Structures are given as structure tokens and as C-alpha cells.
Amino acid sequence: MFPISAADAISPAVRRTRDFLFRPFRPGTYVKLCLVALLTEGIGGNFSSHGGRASNRAPSLSSPFALTPESIAALVAVSLLLVLLVLFLYYLVTRLRFAYFHCLIHNTREIRPGWHLYRAQAVRFFWLNLVVGCCFLLLIALVALPFAAGFWGLFRNLAAGGHPDVGSILALVLPLVPIILLVVLAAFAVDVVLRDFVLPHYALENATAGQAWAAVWARIRAEKVPFFHYALLRVVLPLVALIALFIVLILPTIIFVALVAAIEVGIHAAFSGASGAAAGMGIILGVLVGVVAFAVAVLVWIGFGGPVSTAIREYALLFYGGRYQPLGNILSPPGPGMNAPGMA
């Protein structure tokens, strides 16, 4: 497979995505593959706020210090369980990432073969990502350390009943903004390198972290400009895809939400004066409508987001496949008597 530029890899990635998901088109298989693509690629991210809403009465700021030893132990135990659950889920996503990699390079729709074939590689790749994540947490802690005294002083002032000083808050927050942006940019770059470039070496060569990184870094040094262009498009293309999905889905979404709201209001009005079994039936109908609406919304997001996620992965494979011979030979097998160009 010959090396292609980042821009030239877009069209073949779209074609491969179309052929993989739609030729032939089987609804059940399509939903399965799109769901796996969303879980492993994560197109769109999560823009919702996870912060709890403030209650009408502000809780006492000193209440956290009044925790009993039993409640502290319970809080620590719950935190550990949540951490273990998150790690287990991320491990499953890593296994799926290798399985979907196998599906795309071999043009097969079966998830199971890749799930079993790359188990050892996926475990080592999971630990590599975990180590990298811990390094970033340490980096964030080191970056935040010089600001800790200022934030602690602000917290103590508020706990003592003082009023927040906007100037002091801005003096603490504004210097953090460019630092946070740099950390986010570095995290994105490392994630792209791991998923797009290091993972194929793990899967196809059973390479170690050092071997994979050495091979990737050699290619990046040899073609700095093409890899830079790839990094830019790797940021721009998902954003463009999300904007396009928003434009396409905004009007149907408004209509759908209005329809569901009208049905819910109608059910509430119909059973407003009911009691006993009739009131229970109204509650069941309302919940059922909500569940069906949620299921439809999830299916729509899978159906539209899955192809975008798959196209992003195909794009990464095609760009790097032209520069990594074992991957390129699978994506585009050389003819008889031909040697595929590229670095081994």
C-alpha cells in the first residue's frame, strides 16, 4: 500500500465505511457494529454537565469535616468500588477496540474472533493506557500545586462567612486557562498516537510499548509535515461531522421532543382525576412512553454516530497503513511478485 496524504485518505475512508456497514445492509448487524464503533471511538464526547444542581438551601461548608469514621470508611469503600468499575469498563472497551480493529482491517463483521485473538495484546495495551493516565494525573497535580494555597485560602474565607472576591478568583483562574488548554492538547495528542499508531503495532506484531513507540516515532520524524496535517484533520473532521449531524438532526429532534411532550401531557390530563388502578395505569403509560422515547433517541444516535466513528477509524488505518507495511499489506494486499512500499 502506497503512502497517501491526510487529505487523500478521507475519500477512501468514507468508501470503506460505506462498504463495511451498508453492503450488504442488515439492520441488526448495523446497529451492533455502530454501537461498538461508538463505544470504542467515542465520537462527540459528552457535553452534558455532571455537576449536581444546587438546592434552595446552601449546605454548610463545614459539614464535610463533621463526617464520622464510619461514614468516611463507607465513602472510601464506595470510591474504590467506583474506581474498580470504571477500570473494568475501560478494560472491556479496550478489548472491543482491538476486536473492531480486526473487523475493519479484515472486512469482517464478526466481533468474537478479534475479541479472543488479541486478548493478550489488549491487556498490555490497557495497562499502558493506565500508566499514561496516571502520568497525566500526576502532571495535573504538579500543575495545580502552585495554585493550591490560593484556592485553599479562598475556601477558608468562604467557610468563615466571607464574600467571594471576583478579582482574587480571576487572578487564580485566568493563569490556569492556557495551562489547562496545553494539558488537554497534550492528552489528545497522546491519545491519537496510542489509538491510531501504537495499537496496530501491538495487534499485528505483539510489540512491547518501547518497540511500538520507537517504530511510531521513527515514522513521525521521517514525515513530520504529513503527520502534522493528519493531526489537524484528526481534530477538524470529527468536529465537522458533529456539526453536520447537529444540522441534520436538530429539526427532527425538536419535532420528536414536542411529540413526546404532547403525549406525556395528554396522558397526565387523561388520568389526572383517576385513583387506584387507573392512576397506576397512567403512571405506567407515562413511564412506558418515556422509555420508548429514550430507546428511539439512543437508536438514532447509534445509527448516525456509528458511521462517523467507523469512518474516523478507517481514516486512521488508511493513513498509517501506507506507512506501516504489515497494516498496509492487509488493507491493500500487494499483487503477485510485488513488494509493498513503506517501512517494515
Number of other residues whose CB lies within 10 A of the CB of residue 344? 8
pLDDT of residue 89: 94
Residue 326 belongs to what domain range?
10-44+68-331
In a domain, 5, yes or no: no
In a domain, 344, yes or no: no
Mean pLDDT (the chain) is 86
In a domain, 59, yes or no: no
| pLDDT average, residue stretch 116-131 | 95
Task: Quote the pTM value.
Answer: 0.80
Q: Judge contact between 130 and 74, C-beta under 8 A.
A: no
In a domain, 51, yes or no: no
Q: Residue 204's closest CA among 121, 299, 312?
A: 121
* DSSP-based three-state secondary structure for 324: strand
H-state helical runs in 55-110: 69-106
Q: Convert the pLDDT of each residue in 242-269 to its tens digit.
A: 999 999 999 999 999 999 999 999 988 8
Q: Convert the pLDDT of each residue in 165-203 to its tens digit.
A: 666 677 777 777 888 888 888 888 899 999 999 999 999
Helical packing angle, 27-41 and 277-321, nearest 10°: 70
| pLDDT average, residue stretch 316-342 | 81
Q: Residue 259's closest CA among 282, 292, 281?
A: 292
pLDDT of residue 170: 73
pLDDT of residue 56: 45
Q: What percent of the chain has pLDDT over 90?
A: 63
| pLDDT average, residue stretch 299-321 | 95
In a domain, 49, yes or no: no
pLDDT of residue 164: 64
Q: What distance in Å separates the CA atoms of residue 16 and residue 28, rounded to the nearest whole number?
A: 19
Q: Residue 1's closest CA among 337, 335, 336?
A: 335
Q: Judge contact between 343 and 327, C-beta under 8 A.
A: no
Q: Convert the pLDDT of each residue in 85-116 to its tens digit.
A: 999 999 999 999 999 999 999 999 999 999 99
In a domain, 102, yes or no: yes
**Model confidence band, residue 54 (pLDDT cutoffs 50, 70, 90):** very low
In a domain, 60, yes or no: no
Q: Residue 215's closest CA among 128, 100, 342?
A: 342
The more confident residue out of 343 and 141 is 141
Q: How many structural domains are present in the chain? A: 1
Q: Convert the pLDDT of each residue in 64-90 to its tens digit.
A: 445 677 788 888 899 999 999 999 999
Q: Residue 160's closest CA among 148, 152, 172?
A: 152
| pLDDT average, residue stretch 112-139 | 94
- Burial zone of 165 (CB within 10 Å; 0-12 exposed, 13-18 middle, 19+ buried): exposed
In a domain, 284, yes or no: yes
